[in-house]
A and B are shown apart, each in its own frame.
Chain A
Amino acid sequence: MSARTLRAEGLTVETWRETRRAREPVPLVRDATLELREGEVLALVGASGSGKSLACAALLDVLPPGTRRRAGCILLDGAETEPASLRGRAVACVLQAPRTAFNPLRTIGDHAGETLSVTGLRGAAGRAAMEQALAEVGLGDDPRVPDLYPFQMSGGMLQRAMIALALLSRAPFLVADEPTTDLDLVAQARVLDLLAGLVRERGLGLLIVTHDLGVVARLADQVAVMEEGRIVETNTAAALFAHPSHLATRALLAAHRALHEVP
């Protein structure tokens, strides 16, 4: 069997401005194409407000109110698919702010139960799957974790728990939107190590959105650079760092390198 792929083709997202005469569309993402392959990490980078998160939201069909997808399609292994049917089955996602992504009134075990009900696992089998997923993200040592509420856990633990829930879905692809931005650097390094391990061992296809080229350097095979809603450059990570061609890429790299040197 050939490697599985998930391809978003020509995604276009817009919002609109009310003018006196009519609704005037304002493009936010313009003709963005992203291709994810099993066992590979694609990083989507760009400055704040460049449209990275919206492109992912369009891929997952979870666009916020006030925006709409005007064009584009999602192909799973080459066949056009309804994005809503992929979510939680072929694609799982991990969000930036773990504290707002969990229901504060539900334990980690409750959240796992919800994910498991989609996969059809129940009872002892479900419990075993949850324990295995928690062990895979390094939360398996403490038997109390499934009974914890989000407020009882640190940001790093919550982000691991969210990745465990993504694993539970058994989806071959994972979209992670700035998964480590809210974590301190030590917690960030551990979460990135965890994601790298999952890509290597499980053959997960990972789309990681980030504004940090350090994350790209650590993890990515392929990189797509976004500016003003357009993907302006796509290349392998090594080639992009060595020979950035677009101005936006060069600006990001210059700032990234400036942070690494002492003035």
Chain B
Amino acid sequence: MTALLAASGLGKSYPGKTYPDTSHPGAGRRGERPVLSGINLSLGEGECVALLGRSGSGKSTLARLLLGLEEADAGTVRFRGAALPGLDRAGRRAFHAAVQMVLQDPLSAVNPRHSVGRILAEPLRHLTDLPSPARDARAGELLAMVGLDPASAGRLPGQLSGGQVQRVGLARALATRPALVVLDEAVSNLDAPRQVEILDRLAHLRRAHGTAFLLITHDVRLARRFADRVVVLSEGRIVDASPCRPGLALSHPAARELVDAVLPASPRMAREEAR
């Protein structure tokens, strides 16, 4: 079966160095910082995969490559079997309608001067053939889908709370009925009640529409709760992978570090662990 989205041998470097200097001698041209190398990742239709890694491990760069927002230095990304750079205009439009993304910082991901309704209509205008009245109807439907009052279509992002704007971002990503939604730390900064609420909503959407998800996170709890399997990224490489059920079986030190960093569920456990 052809995968929905597949990366093979993906590599990417950015110019410049970071502090502390972690580039390996001979890793590339002078001043080149390898961010990703040798990434093989395949997402099936309707599948839910969590990409787990620390800040700076290359998660967001990988997401940008998968969405075609940036070009890889090495390797290819294939959408339903067709390599991304080879897509024609119609192919690109179909790809963008099928693969959508929600970003971490919701306020910077929307135009503060556009009403929520206009924000939701934008992908519909560019990526679908819906006429204007149908677009408005769809916007109302999307707001209800993410648990927002359809009347909020007339409001500006600044008039909503951070959690509400994040749901607007989610509604926008769902507007074109995508086959895959990439969530780049899209729930990490919300409080626990909102995280649980949004993940439950997404799980419901998944059951109803067969949407695939790539959840990018550093939080093992979110990955475990939401995904079918977990892929661990460390220093630009995939170092470990495991299905989520019956339980995560991760052994790489970078993966263990993330699992061990999960805070205790209750104070009693905290004390026992400290002993």
Which residues of A are in contact with B by a Cβ distance under 8 Å? 47-49, 142, 144, 148, 152-156, 181-189, 192, 211-218, 220, 237-238, 241, 251-252, 254-263
Contact = CB atoms under 8 A, between A and B. Distances in A.
Contacts of A182: 189
Nearest to A240: B267
Nearest to B248: A262
Nearest to A48: B191
By secondary structure, the A interface counts as helix
A212 B218 contact: no
Nearest to B218: A184
A187 B55 contact: yes
Contact of A186 (B162, B194, B245, B257): B257
Contacts, number: 109
B195 A185 contact: no
A48 B195 contact: no
Contacts of A144: 19
Nearest to A241: B266
B148 interface: no
Q: Give the interface size class of chain B.
A: 35 or more
B182 to A, nearest CB: 18
Contact of B264 (A181, A218, A261): A218
Contact of A185 (B161, B190, B262): B262
A186 B270 contact: no
B80 interface: no
A182 B189 CA distance: 7
A263 B218 CA distance: 19
A211 B193 CA distance: 10
Given A48-B161, A251-B193, 20 more contacts: A48-B190, A48-B191, A152-B18, A152-B19, A153-B19, A184-B54, A187-B54, A187-B55, A212-B191, A214-B263, A214-B265, A216-B267, A217-B266, A220-B267, A238-B267, A252-B191, A254-B193, A255-B196, A258-B196, A263-B225
A217 B264 contact: yes
B55 A256 contact: no
Given A259-B222, A262-B224, A215 B263 contact: yes
A212 B244 contact: no
17 contacts: A48-B163, A48-B194, A148-B19, A182-B189, A185-B261, A213-B192, A217-B264, A218-B264, A218-B270, A237-B267, A251-B193, A255-B193, A259-B221, A262-B224, A262-B244, A262-B245, A263-B203
Contacts of B18: 152
Contacts of B263: 185, 188-189, 192, 212, 214-215, 217-218
A185 B218 contact: yes
